[in-house]
Amino acid sequence: MLIAMVLLPLMDVVAKFLTSSMASGQIVWSRMLFQSMFLLPLLYPLRRQLAVSQWHLFALRGILIAVATLFFFTSLVKMPLADALAIFFVEPLLLTLLSPIILDEKIGIRRIVAVMIGFIGALIIIQPSAKAFGVYAILPLGAAFCFALYLILTRKLAQNTNAVIIQLYTGIAGFITISAALLIGNAAGFDALQITAPTVGQWGLMILIGAIGCIGHLLLVYAFSFADASALAPFHYFEIVGAVVFGWYFFTDVPALTTWVGIAIIVGSGFYVYHREKLHL
């Protein structure tokens, strides 16, 4: 889980570079395409396990990650990486809140209160960000909700399906989803869904996004095959370290004071949830 949290902000860095010259929908399309292509050579040893049930869950997981990635990459068009990821960090709290509803995991009133406090932290970040970036500041929140549902499905599927197969079917479903969205959105003139001919350099960055997404999300699936979703949720906060460092190094972005305050509240709430998990209360 920790390795995944170091890798995934790098994917966001590459995506932010690309958003200056390419629509976010096309970047998501490349991520889904190349993630699936990288997994194909691993399928031969698993050929006897390719037949799976619950196809609707694989399809839904693919749709959720495609939409979550589209929302987040689109927010990077205007927002600094650390600010966008700070708002996205309500996702572990959403994961904690949704896990008992969908996975029948147990949480107590103290953890519910911690989740509510975490949302206050998110609102502190969103308020000034919304003034500066408009609707773009809300997109990471939508991405967080979709990604929380995506991880819940990950936990559900990882208990009896190989991680490579889960990621392959998810990648295919996500690729089909974003391809259809691009065709419709390009014809309708939506900026985030415009199609352009990539340069050689852009193809290289698009392949890199697919590689990072493939490795990072395989690690996530393996992590969720061994531990409860609500127990793993706080480890997502290590991603903020990479986001702040990479954002400063590549884009000279330094989060505002209100962002730091919001991050502190969200992370504090998340680690309190983790503490309660350890106590099994």
pLDDT (average), residues 120-127: 77
Band of pLDDT at residue 143, cut at 50, 70 and 90: very high
Query: By percentage, how much of the chain surpasses pLDDT 70?
Result: 93
Between residues 43 and 36, the one the model is more confident about: 36
- Which H or E run includes 237? none
Spell out a b/e string for 263-279, using b for 16 or more CB atoms within 10 Å of the CB, else e.
bebbbebbebbbebbee
Of 30-39, 122-131, 158-167, 176-185, the poorest mean pLDDT is in 122-131
| Distance of alpha carbon 214 from alpha carbon 211, whole angstroms | 5
Dmax over CA atoms of the chain, in Å, equals 54
Closest CA to 13 of 265, 199, 252, 191: 252
Band of pLDDT at residue 280, cut at 50, 70 and 90: low
pLDDT tens per residue, range 73-117 = 999 998 888 788 878 878 877 887 887 777 777 777 777 777 778
- Which H or E run includes 196? none
Between residues 179 and 49, the one the model is more confident about: 179
| Distance of alpha carbon 231 from alpha carbon 214, whole angstroms | 23
pLDDT at 51: 67
- Helical spans, DSSP H, in the chain: 2-19, 24-39, 55-75, 81-88, 91-102, 109-133, 139-158, 163-188, 200-226, 229-232, 239-251, 257-279
Please say if the pLDDT value at position 229 is more than 80: no
Cβ partners under 8 Å of residue 146, min gap 6: 64, 65, 67, 68, 71
- Average model confidence (pLDDT) for the chain? 85
- Please report where in the chains the tokens 């987040």 appear, as a residue: 72
pLDDT tens per residue, range 166-184 = 888 889 999 999 999 999 9
pLDDT at 277: 63
Q: How crowded is residue 87: how many other Cβ atoms within 10 Å of its Cβ?
A: 30
Contact 181, 248 (CB under 8 A): no
Please say if the pLDDT value at position 187 is more than 70: yes
